[in-house]
């Protein structure tokens, strides 16, 4: 499944990785995020700052796919740009239960109470780490997160980040 991308967004980079490779070692999340962030950030006003912010946000997204523990299928990550907005389209295999959980948390983000929900999740030892990740992206990175229609057995996130406008 390919997500329909706004024509104003120009493609920058695409990464595909077998899920078995990703879930074989936690450090793959950070390594891939750091590499891709450096590639995408080279032409920004402050490339090092931009790469650091993007790497941290991207690492969180990769960790969500890592937590699925799915070893079959492919992780696909596409990057696009429109002015100051970086768009990440991340797709990976997951169960219907996991997908429902992600849909619930994205609804919580969209209800205008992202900060309150984030504070609730990070103080709840029983909360799922994926919820904290998504809410953290919305709160700490002012990310817009959408879930386009999904194929069965797969999850796709479209995350827009305006990292250059972040103050800290």
Architecture of domain 19-165: 2-Layer Sandwich (3.30)
Task: State how far the Cα of 79 lies from the Cα of 10, in Å rounded to an integer.
Answer: 8
Q: Report d(CA 160, CA 168) in Å as an integer.
A: 18
pTM of the prediction? 0.86
Domain ranges of the chain: 19-165
CA dist 8 and 122 (Å) reads: 36
Percent of the chain at pLDDT exceeding 90: 38
pLDDT, tens digit (0-9, with 9 covering 90-100), for 61-95: 988 888 888 889 999 999 999 988 999 999 999 88
CA atoms within 13 A on the CB side of 82: 10
- pLDDT number for residue 166: 65
Average pLDDT, the chain: 86
Rounded alpha-carbon distances, angstroms, from residue 41 to 12, 49, 108, 139: 10, 9, 30, 22
């Amino acid at each position: 499944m390919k997500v329909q991308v706004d024509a104003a967004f120009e493609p920058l980079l695409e990464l595909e990785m077998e899920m078995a490779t990703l879930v074989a070692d936690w450090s793959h999340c950070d390594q891939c995020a750091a590499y891709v962030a450096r590639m995408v950030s080279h032409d920004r006003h402050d490339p090092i700052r931009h790469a650091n912010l993007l790497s941290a946000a991207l690492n969180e997204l990769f960790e969500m796919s890592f937590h699925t523990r799915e070893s079959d299928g492919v992780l696909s990550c596409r990057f696009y740009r429109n002015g100051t907005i970086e768009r990440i389209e991340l797709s990976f295999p997951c169960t219907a239960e996991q997908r429902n959980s992600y849909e619930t948390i994205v609804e919580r983000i969209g209800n205008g109470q992202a900060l309150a929900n984030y504070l609730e999740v990070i103080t709840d030892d029983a909360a799922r780490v994926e919820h904290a990740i998504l809410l953290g992206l919305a709160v700490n990175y002012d990310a817009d997160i959408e879930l386009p229609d999904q194929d069965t057995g797969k999850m796709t996130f479209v995350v827009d980040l305006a990292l250059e406008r972040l103050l800290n």
